[in-house]
Chains A and B, each alone.
Chain A
């Protein structure tokens, strides 16, 4: 383990190189260091703290590396800070700290069947997982990417599933179909039975709203996938990203340091407790 570089509460200026509106009131920003050069290395599942000058700062997972070395980060317009970031235009400067936190372990699933289950914006931190799996396609057996959203408008990265589908099994579902939707209807968990998994050799990456992750992990457990081979990414209120502000605690864990990516074996008992 190399020690972390010194990280504190003061961000680096990053320039918005590109801004791509996505579905579901989300915007994907390409952010690169304002002083030039590439953004620091990141591992799939890590996040940065993005600062909208004068407004505030929020944790946002990194969805990939852009062509010129910047980060791709998808923000959904839900509060004052995300609203300001969603409205940032090409050339605007924001603050970035990080990358922070734990990452999805892609080596752990080698030689196994893989399930990637995403709910809504939960696809954002899983995008580098899917790309990583497909870049080393021969190391894995079956790969099933299951993506759910509340409605068709919530399916982010609409052009990517078709590309992934050339190399793995991709299935989409929505809870509330509209007239444009002719695909599968129901929660992501309803797709599990369609992929025919072999639980004794399955590894799962799961990210979405907590209720969706608990339901998905529960269904995988019920089918015999051990909790230690189900990885989740938790979301909590965060003000620092470096274990100082105290906001993201879940029992003994600091979600920013010990997570956000955690094995279900580590957090199942904690997630059972109401309002922990």
Chain B
């Protein structure tokens, strides 16, 4: 008896998550993009159905998928990072010589529709934030407040390469529940990833999964793996990049790179931050806030009035070498999970899979 069940719709699942105190976040078409957005009870409740995406270097377009699928698209620009490592968080306030730590906000959030690459990125984040000498307790609190409803990717994007890195498309760990969207008839195979997921599924209207349901789900993942838009050969990449620090390729990429930092913003593992300081006009309270930063920012390495990495080539080298080489030195894993977001959202269409080949 497999623990897998079949759900006819996602409404009861979303309702049960809300009933247990979670804000439910899922894929919603907004501004021509699939965003991970809070799902609001009402006529438009639930994830957007029927929209597919077309992703290519520097290009993202939505269109009707003609099939009414809920998960008939690849990853959008948002990743789990937004919830575990928010773009901005206040650290503390200081007034009259007294430091007041700002309480960590760790709301109960259920993320619906995260993919294998996102879960792989979360495992990377766990190593970064919790595996080092100074565990980040704010990250831990936010991380533990998440309920993860993953989906087996059916339609990888043109910029995806998780299959070649072994991070997808099939969800294997790190989830509470994993869904596979099936057609003919439209239904969702739901499998628990652990006790929390099993408890949730036990309370939903469902029927046991048949061997045919399980077989259809397996085919979804196999088809997806074959439809990857791109690939990266991870074998030896760490040593190779460390040996290519002086390659002229970096400056050539730098001549195309706008150093806009889009890649680092959409990357599900990039963790760099800076701090901002301000003083309240009313009472002179000093406030310190942490916010996302990027190794592409000119002031990122500023020292004594001048940046260490001033050229675009050096900044791109830092980013790509960190992802595929020094990240492994630091955290024992690559920093890239093959989600392809950085390729899609680069306004110059720089494709790291191509650049890695050129740096062979």
Are the CB atoms of B305 and A79 closer together than 8 Å?
Answer: yes
Closest B residue to A245 using CB positions: B273
Are the CB atoms of A252 and B134 closer together than 8 Å?
Answer: no
Q: Say whether, besides A54-B278, A247-B272, A95 and B94 are in contact (CB < 8 Å).
A: yes
CB neighbours of A15 from chain B (8 A):
97
Q: Does A34 contact B (CB under 8 A)?
A: yes
- Docked complex Cα distance between A257 and B136 (Å): 15
Are the CB atoms of A237 and B301 closer together than 8 Å?
Answer: yes
- Docked complex Cα distance between A239 and B278 (Å): 16
- Docked complex Cα distance between A235 and B304 (Å): 10
CB neighbours of A55 from chain B (8 A):
277
Question: Per-position contact with B for A243-274: 1 when CB-CB < 8 Å, else 0?
Answer: 11111010110100100000000000000011
CB neighbours of B295 from chain A (8 A):
246, 249
Interface size on A, residues (CB 8 A): 41
- Docked complex Cα distance between A95 and B101 (Å): 12
Are the CB atoms of A78 and B132 closer together than 8 Å?
Answer: no
B266 CB, nearest partner CB in chain A, Å: 16
Q: Does A93 contact B (CB under 8 A)?
A: yes
Q: Does A32 contact B (CB under 8 A)?
A: no
Are the CB atoms of B99 and A13 closer together than 8 Å?
Answer: yes
Q: Say whether, besides A13-B98, A252-B326, A273-B246, A247 and B274 are in contact (CB < 8 Å).
A: yes
- Docked complex Cα distance between A257 and B329 (Å): 13
B25-83 at interface with A (beta carbon < 8 Å): none
The residue among A7, A53, A78, A235 with the most chain B CB atoms within 10 A of its own CB is A53
CB neighbours of B246 from chain A (8 A):
273
Q: Does A236 contact B (CB under 8 A)?
A: yes
Are the CB atoms of B314 and A276 closer together than 8 Å?
Answer: yes
CB neighbours of A9 from chain B (8 A):
91-92, 275, 288, 290
Closest B residue to A269 using CB positions: B245
A273 CB, nearest partner CB in chain B, Å: 5
Are the CB atoms of B133 and A244 closer together than 8 Å?
Answer: no
Closest A residue to B89 using CB positions: A9
Q: Does A4 contact B (CB under 8 A)?
A: yes
CB neighbours of A218 from chain B (8 A):
none
Are the CB atoms of B274 and A11 closer together than 8 Å?
Answer: no
CB neighbours of A235 from chain B (8 A):
303
Are the CB atoms of B134 and A7 closer together than 8 Å?
Answer: yes
- Docked complex Cα distance between A189 and B132 (Å): 39
The residue among B133, B246, B284 with the most chain A CB atoms within 10 A of its own CB is B133
Q: Does B309 contact A (CB under 8 A)?
A: yes
Q: Say whether, besides A242-B133, A243-B133, A252-B326, A54 and B277 are in contact (CB < 8 Å).
A: yes
Q: Does B255 contact A (CB under 8 A)?
A: no
- Docked complex Cα distance between A246 and B98 (Å): 28
Q: Does A136 contact B (CB under 8 A)?
A: no
Q: Say whether, besides A95-B99, A244-B271, A237 and B300 are in contact (CB < 8 Å).
A: yes
Are the CB atoms of A236 and B308 closer together than 8 Å?
Answer: yes
CB neighbours of A243 from chain B (8 A):
132-134
B94-113 at interface with A (beta carbon < 8 Å): 94, 97-99, 101
CB neighbours of B341 from chain A (8 A):
none
Are the CB atoms of B303 and A236 closer together than 8 Å?
Answer: yes
Are the CB atoms of B272 and A252 closer together than 8 Å?
Answer: no
Q: Does A10 contact B (CB under 8 A)?
A: yes
Give me 8 A-to-B residue pairs in the complex whose CB atoms sit less than 8 angstroms apart, sorted by A's number.
Answer: A235-B303, A237-B300, A239-B273, A239-B274, A242-B133, A243-B133, A252-B325, A275-B314
Q: Which 8 A/B pairs are nearest by Cβ-Cβ distance?
A: A246-B272, A252-B329, A93-B97, A275-B314, A54-B286, A54-B279, A53-B286, A242-B134
